[in-house]
Amino acid sequence: IDEARDPVHAHVWDATPLSSAWSNAANAKARDVVNPAVPSDTVGQIVFATPDGAKRAIAAAVPWDLPAADRADVLRKVAVAYEDNAEELFALLHREAGKTMLDAVGEIREAVDFLYYYAAEAEQRNPTPRGIWTCISPWNFPLAIFTGQVSAALAAGNGVLAKPAEQTGLIAHRAVQLMIEAGVPKDVLHLLPGGGDIGAALTSDARINGVAFTGSTPTALKIRATMAENCDPGTPLIAETGGLNAMIVDSTALPEHAVRDILQSAFQSAGQRCSALRCLYVQEDVAEKVIHMLKGAMNELRMGDPWNLTTDVGPVIDETARQGIQDHIDAARTDGRVIHALVAPDTGTFVAPTVIRVDGLSLIPI
């Protein structure tokens, strides 16, 4: 892995919208993409789409007019391309998204699994396409969820307008390049990186036949309202949003197993998963032992550059995320509710793993 990653350790990627309707205007300004763990590392530059460009892409998008078996064959070729380019994708996941090696391997495996799964579903079901789908994916699984949304829509024969999270557009750009090289037509799949204005343009158009969204609950509610005003009645919205996940440890649990699972769920991916452990309930008569073991296990965690195999916890995605979490920790520290905390590195958008005493879910921000 090291031998294959090293050539792209300092590589700078360039990304633009990938759409048959895109024309690279002379005034289109590229934005720098910076490594959240190593601020001195410029990962690449990206040109965002414009709302007008998004409208042109909607007009240019067409369903994928191939038999289901042929679409499935192309999706399997994409899966092979992901695996053949795994080390480059690892590098992008480390440097743009702050993913550790453990997370990066899991990310590519999940993306490949999605491609094979939806290829098989297309062959078995031979679905009727709805038309044109908007797919809006998050930064916490910038390859896996992006690929899952897009491959599901493509497998069913739909055209796709894909808007990745603005923090992780380079990964999405490389994924779409591999999809097009594998045989997905350029007029079927359109990559439109950008911010909320692009998402709004892609969910407020009557020509959209469905939306798949993963992100925050408030944004999902805005999309629902926008679609209700502009799209045909019955246009589907598939929304996967956040949650407050709990674990209950009672006196029958093996503390070693409980602590192992607590660490994995709460601190892997720097806690940036909708499935991450947010609230731990421990039976009083075993709490002292479990908390003592948890502190010791936390002390073994290593924060740092996700490129290094020794790193257990990488950065959070950007400074906005870091500041929001840190404000929550600082308020708890002022109240005397911090049970245990590590020390974060001085540079990068790191947040130290922290255990806070709470009276209930109402004290945990969504």
The DSSP 8-state label assigned to residue 298 in this structure reads H
**Could you identify the residue written with the tokens 């895109």?**
22
- In degrees and rounded to multiples of 5, residue 31 shows phi and psi of -105, 140
Single-letter amino acid, residue 297: A
Instruction: State how far the Cα of 254 lies from the Cα of 256, in Å rounded to an integer.
Output: 6
Q: How crowded is residue 188: how many other Cβ atoms within 10 Å of its Cβ? A: 24
Question: 160: closest CA among 149, 175, 171?
Answer: 149
Strand partners of residue 124: none
Interior angle at CA 220, CA 214 and CA 222, nearest 5: 145
Q: So which residues are the catalytic ones?
A: 240, 274
d(CA 363, CA 53): 42
Locate 87 and state its tokens.
């080390």
Which of 101-110's residues contact partners 24+ apart within 8 Å by CB, and which partners?
101/1, 101/306, 101/309, 101/311, 102/268, 103/268, 103/269, 103/306, 103/314, 104/306, 106/144, 107/141, 107/142, 107/143, 107/144, 108/82, 108/83, 108/143, 108/144, 110/141, 110/144, 110/148
CA atoms lying within 13 Å on the CB side of residue 51: 8
Vertex 134: Cα angle to 225 and 208 (nearest 5): 70
